[in-house]
Amino acid sequence: MNYLEKELRELVKKDDSIFDFLQESTLDGMWYWDLTNQEEEWMNNVFWERLGYDPDQMPAKAEAWMGLINPEDMEIAKAKIAEHIEDPAKPYDQVIRYTHAQGHTVWIRCRGMILRTEDGSPIRMLGAHTDITKAKRKEMILKRCNEAANIGYWEVDYLNERVTWSSTTKDIYNACDSCVPEVHEPFCFFKEGAQKDMIDKAVQKAIAERSEVKEEAKIITKNGKEKWVEILLIPEFKGDMCTKLFGTLQDIDVRKRASEQVEELLQKTEQQNNRLANYAHTISHNLRSQAGGISSLLELIELENPEINENELFKYLKTASSKLSETVVQLSNIDLSDEISEEDYEIINLREFVSTTVKSILNFEEPENLTIRNLIPEGFNLRTISAYLDSICFNLISNSIKYRDPEKDAKIVIKAGSEADKVWFSVQDNGLGIDLQKYGTKLFSLHTTFHDNEDSSGIGLFITKNQVESLGGVIEVESEPDIGSTFTVKLPV
């Protein structure tokens, strides 16, 4: 025995203040019980103070504390004390729930030892308390968090050949309360084949490298359902022997399947974008050839018939041909496989641009009962890509004309303005309108139409939305059946 330990033991025997210091400072309660007269029991002051009681008001009787213990814990305490009396090798060590004077629960770790006569008869019991309420509350909060996050705990004890599953783990497996796998097959619920092989390799890796391993795999629940889980494996060693493997199991089925759907949508979007790019390149190439042919034919007609330049229809035809060639050239110069560059942008007078677009749509004459008002302020400039803006304006204005209400005079109003760090322009009409409750989520989908027009393709709004978003903007719509629609494009300054 160390001389300092020996010296302390002697001091405790001689000096009561040393004993008082130890029992008040190192423990959260201490008691000494007379087993030959079980009504008699001494509890120190700290014992009662931890439970919110005035020590001077509490009698040195066993019944004083028995009524404060949770009834379930009381039954367990009686059984454990009886075991310890019967067999000293079985220690008395238990967590007990006491009721505090203010009504809340105090979690106490209670340990005790039996003192016996020379013939082995139990005569006294010495006990010590440790207040673990804070730790227990944290444990309960963690348990609730794990349950909310669907995270369960599991443990494989190789020494005692025992497998432990938390209630959440059992819920994830859809297993009954009594269902626990054999120690030689603790991961039996994982899907046979590649999934099960992956988990077996993860176990081997965790043990071989003495490190944590995390994997995502599929299980087959008790009711035959396939489910994605994330498993964490942590090995525990004694020397070179792995004595325990434990970790967590989380239900990630909803998240994983959502991720798979997102990936599927991304792949589908990429395929659509590739098709759209190929489509745009093909159309651009074909239109360029056709536009060049039309322009050449017009030049030949003009050479053979100089007087035709006085014809108003021929003038309209030349203007339309020039506009077509210009648009095709602009589209051809945009490489859809690359990101938009600063060089693609230019300053455009929006009022004049819209006026030109309206003329190209109406061609030779304005339909009856149609009024188009360009209310964009004079000198309102917009920094954008000309080809995209042309397509956006053309689609929105032509749609307002195409889907006008035959039962009333059609009115289309085009406005523009600025707000904060954005500029906007809108196309408003009093046409047929769209039922957004019915079609709102499909409004800008490819090949989606809302009316019975023979020339409806379901492409225009899809392209318009993509072009607006390519410019870093958004497109918004307000519409009611038989009232009309307003499409507003907002672009960054």
User: Which CATH number covers residue 170?
Assistant: 3.30.450.20
Residue 441 and residue 349 in one domain? yes
Task: Please say whether the beta carbons of 461 and 407 come within 8 A.
Answer: no
* 459 and 477 together in one domain: yes
CATH for 377: 3.30.565.10
**Same domain flag for 73 and 126:** yes
| Polymer length in residues for the chain | 493
Hunting for tokens 């190209």 — which residue is that? 360
The verdict on 481 and 344 lying in the same domain is yes
Considering the domain boundaries, does residue 333 fall inside one?
no
Domain stop point among 292, 322, 352: 322
Q: Are residues 349 and 484 in the same domain?
A: yes
d(CA 192, CA 199): 10
Name the domain count of the chain: 4
- 10-residue block means of pLDDT along the chain (493 residues)? 71 75 74 90 89 91 90 93 90 93 92 88 89 84 72 88 88 83 80 91 93 93 91 91 91 89 86 74 70 82 85 82 70 54 88 91 73 94 91 90 90 93 94 86 70 60 86 92 94 90
Residues 486/478, Cβ–Cβ less than 8 Å = yes
Q: Which residue among 297, 322, 347 closes a domain?
A: 322
Q: Which amino acid is at 241?
A: M
Give the model's pLDDT for residue 337.
46
Q: Of all helices (H) and strands (E), which one includes residue 318?
A: helix 312-333
Instruction: Please report the pLDDT score of residue 457 as a whole number.
Output: 52
Domain stops at, among 221, 251, 281: 251
**Whether residue 354 sits in one domain with residue 482:** yes
Question: From edge to edge, which strands make up the β-sheet containing 162-165?
Answer: 162-165, 151-157, 241-251, 226-238, 213-220
Number of neighbours of residue 45 by Cβ within 10 angstroms: 17
Sequence-distant (≥ 6) Cβ neighbours of residue 388 within 8 angstroms: 467, 470, 471
Residue 12 lies in a domain: no
Q: Which residues is 424 bridged to in the sheet? A: 417, 490
Joined together, the tokens standing for residue 405 give 């209400």
Nearest one of 125, 59, 65 to 97, comparing CA atoms: 65
Residues 33 and 81 occupy one common structural domain: yes
Residues 318 and 438 placed together within one structural domain of the fold: no
Report the half-sphere exposure of 343 (CA within 13 A, side-chain side): 6
> What is the distance between the alpha carbons of residues 192 and 179, in angstroms, rounded to a whole number?
20
**CA triplet 45, 51, 56: central angle to 5 degrees?**
40
9-17 contacts, C-beta under 8 A, 24 or more apart: none
Q: Does residue 382 lie within any of the structural domains?
A: yes
Q: Cβ distance 52 to 44 under 8 Å?
A: no
Q: Which residue intervals of 156-215 are DSSP H helices?
A: 167-173, 194-209
Residue 4 forms part of a structural domain: no
Are residue 412 and residue 454 in the same domain, yes or no? yes
Domain region containing 126: 23-131
Give me the pLDDT at residue 447, please. Answer: 60
Q: Are residues 247 and 259 in the same domain?
A: no
Helix (H) / strand (E) containing 242: strand 241-251
Tell me if 106 is assigned to some domain. yes
- Number of Cβ atoms within 10 Å of the Cβ of 340: 15
Residues 123 and 183 both lie in one domain = no
Provide long-range contacts, Cβ within 8 A and 24+ apart, for 287-291. Answer: 287/324, 287/328, 287/331, 288/328, 288/329, 288/332, 291/321, 291/324, 291/325, 291/328
φ and ψ at residue 91, rounded to 5 degrees: -70, 155
Q: Does residue 442 fall inside a structural domain? A: yes
Residue 158, domain member (yes or no): yes
Whether 144 maps to a domain, the answer reads no
Mark whether 222 and 234 lie in a shared domain: yes
Predicted pLDDT of residue 290: 76
Burial of 29 (0-12, 13-18, 19+ CB in 10 A): buried
**Mutual orientation of helices 3-14 and 16-25 as an angle, nearest 10°?**
110
pTM of the model: 0.42
